[in-house]
Each structure stands twice: as structure tokens, then as C-alpha cells.
Amino acid sequence: MPAPTIYHVRDLGQRMGIFTVWEKKRNSKEVHWFMECFAEAMGVFFYVYFGIGSQVGWVFGNILKEAGLSSIFQIGMAYAFGIVFAITVCSSTSGGHFNPCITIAMVVFRGFPVRKALRYIPAQIFGAFIATLVVYNQWKAFLDAAEAGLEAAGPGVLEAVLFTPNGPAGAFGNYLLAPQTLPRVFMNEFVNCTVIAIIIWACIDPSNALCPPPMATFVVAFAYAASIWGYAVPGVSLNAARDVGARLAAMVIYGVEAKGTSYSAITALVNIPATLFAAFIYEIFLVDSDAAVAPESLKMIQHHQNHARLGHASGHAAPVPHSEDTDTSSNEKRSIRQFENVPV
């Protein structure tokens, strides 16, 4: 049976000359790494921009006693939609990590190149940094009003509140809420990040027929939202890029004091061992290499294989493995790694 004809975007119409020239340059080996980093930065920008925007509304409303400006539910939804937008817009270019701990776990468990990881992580932090500065400038007049209200409340009130979850800087940096303790907040961060990472690993498991790739976007997004809804008050960070990038921006805005206390190390670093632990648990107990690749996952893999630059520019679709390829007695059996490591 002949392979079905495939069409590339260029077949739908010619782009303007300047874009065609730039695209050829952009897709060269010397430049494409920057496109991937740009996509990672933009993805984190989406996540942080919408999430912190709702956090600022929450803090401003609490300070000036303005009801209805935001809520923990809204904050969770904002971060969730930010993740949906990030994956939808940027993942096809970079692979859609958007979190240093995911990048590190991919290096350890999936053979992701170390050199590329060393580029991705600063790009992710930079995306959060820029998003935070943009949000601050959009809300600046209201934040100034909130600070003025705290100053009017009495001597030392602003200083006492500024670097807390209920202060203006608390919308950007993560600070410990009394009476929470460091051991408990460590556990809170570790458990939440572990659960989220297990869910992510399940979503990228090509044999998971219950979670096809389009649905995985929303499953991951609402895993983050659920953690925020349940554990934002005890304290969660969930993403080192969001924490470090936003904290650096807070230091630019409010000075070095915004760096926080030893809690900052927990918010910035604990998600890394938690994610590695989660990936280890999933790989040890839940991965089954003899399981069939789910049809929807196979379609997505083939879609990437059909990219013109990956060697299938002839107009015919890349071959899809048939049932005989899964015969464990055959020396020609395809390794599942062939499908997991398709470049994106």
C-alpha cells in the first residue's frame, strides 16, 4: 500500500522573501539552538506572565481590602492556562521543558544533550525574569498605591510586610508565611513536585493510551493548578525558573533584600531532586517496554518524523511500524527509544 502524500507548510503558499531567507538561516545548525532557547524563554514567559499577574491582583486586593480582584483559584487557573499557552505555542520548537528540573531529568533519564540543557536553563530563567518585570510595570501604579496604604497604616508597617507573601514583593518572590517552618515547607515542596513530575512522566509515556498528546497539555496544566489550589498557603514554588527569574526581578525592583532567607534555597532547588526521584519511581515501577505505543502517540511521532528537514521531504509519509514490528522474537523489532527520541 503506497504511503499517503504529506504536505508541508510551504506547499500551502509562498512566504514573503525576507521570511524565506531568514527561515533558511534560522534553521541552520549555527542558529537553530537560539530558536530553541527563545521558545523555552517564551514558554516560561507565558507561564509566569499570567500566573504572577493574578498573584499581584491577590496581593493588591488584600492590602487595600478590595474584594474580588483575585483568589487562589484564579491564580491556579492563570498558571494552568499559562502552561497550556506555553505548550501550544512553543513546545514544537524546543520540546517544551519550561522548567529546569524537567530539563535536568531529561538529561539523566532520556539522554537529553547536556550542552543543550546548559542553554535551556538560563533561557527559562530569563523568560521568568522578563515576564516579572513586564507584570510589575503593568501593575506599578496599583502597587505604588498599595505601598502608600501600608506606609499610611503606621511606622514600620510597610517594612514589616514588604517581603512576605502578603506584601508587594510577595507577588513576585516566594517568601515564607508564618507560622510555617522550613522542614514542613521542604516536605510540601518535595511532595508536590514529586507528584507533578510523576504526572508529567505519565503524560510523555508513549504507551499511555489514556492520555494522548493533546490531552497531556491539560493534564499537566491542571496538575500544577491542583498543587496551587491545595498548597499555595503552606508554600510551593514548583518551578525553579519561575522562582529564580522572578526573585532576580524582585531584587532589581526592591533591592537585595528581596533575595529572601534560607527558604529561597528550598523554592529554587528542592524541585530538582524531587523531579529526579519522581522520574526514577516512574521508570522503575511504571514503564513497560513491551507495551504497545498508543496510536495517538504514534501519530504525533510520525508527524515529527515527516518534517522536511528530518529526511522525509519526498512528499510521502514516514513509515509507521506495523504489528509485526512488535514481535519480541524478531531481530528486526524496533526499539521504543526510536520513537521516544524523535527530534522536535
List, in order of start, the domains of the chain with CATH numbers. 24-285 (1.20.1080.10)
Query: Residue 164: phi, psi to the nearest 5?
Result: -135, 165
How many CA atoms lie less than 13 Å away from 179 in the CB half-sphere? 0
Find the mean pLDDT for residues 208-222.
96
- For residue 266, what pLDDT band results from cuts at 50, 70 and 90? very high
- For residue 118, what pLDDT band results from cuts at 50, 70 and 90? very high
Residue 101 has pLDDT above 50, yes or no: yes
* C-alpha of 181 from chain center: 27
- For residue 20, what pLDDT band results from cuts at 50, 70 and 90? confident
Helices (H), 209-306: 213-231, 240-254, 263-269, 271-285, 295-305
The Cα 131–Cα 73 span in angstroms is 21
Bridge partners (DSSP) listed for residue 5: 316
Quick check: 168 and 174 in contact, CB under 8 A? no
Give the alpha-carbon dihedral of 188, 191, 193, 197, to 10 degrees. -170
Residue with C-alpha cell 507561564? 47
Give the pLDDT score at 151: 94
Quick check: 238 and 124 in contact, CB under 8 A? no
Give the pLDDT score at 315: 52
Give the pLDDT score at 304: 84
Residue 56 has pLDDT above 90, yes or no: yes
Q: Which of 95, 77, 58, 53 is nearest to 242 (CA)?
A: 53
Give the pLDDT score at 332: 37
**Average of per-residue pLDDT values in the chain:** 88
Give the pLDDT score at 338: 34
Percentage of residues in the chain with pLDDT exceeding 70? Answer: 89
Quick check: 296 and 212 in contact, CB under 8 A? yes
Residue-wise pLDDT tens digits, 185-203: 999 999 999 999 999 999 9
The Cα 226–Cα 224 span in angstroms is 5
Give the pLDDT score at 17: 83
Give the pLDDT score at 319: 53
Find the mean pLDDT for residues 32-61.
96
Find the mean pLDDT for residues 280-297.
96
The Cα 250–Cα 226 span in angstroms is 26
Give the pLDDT score at 30: 79
Give the pLDDT score at 131: 98
Cell of 165: 507573601
Give the chain's end-to-end CA distance (angstroms, integer): 28
Instruction: For the full predicted model, state whether its pTM sits above 0.95.
Output: no
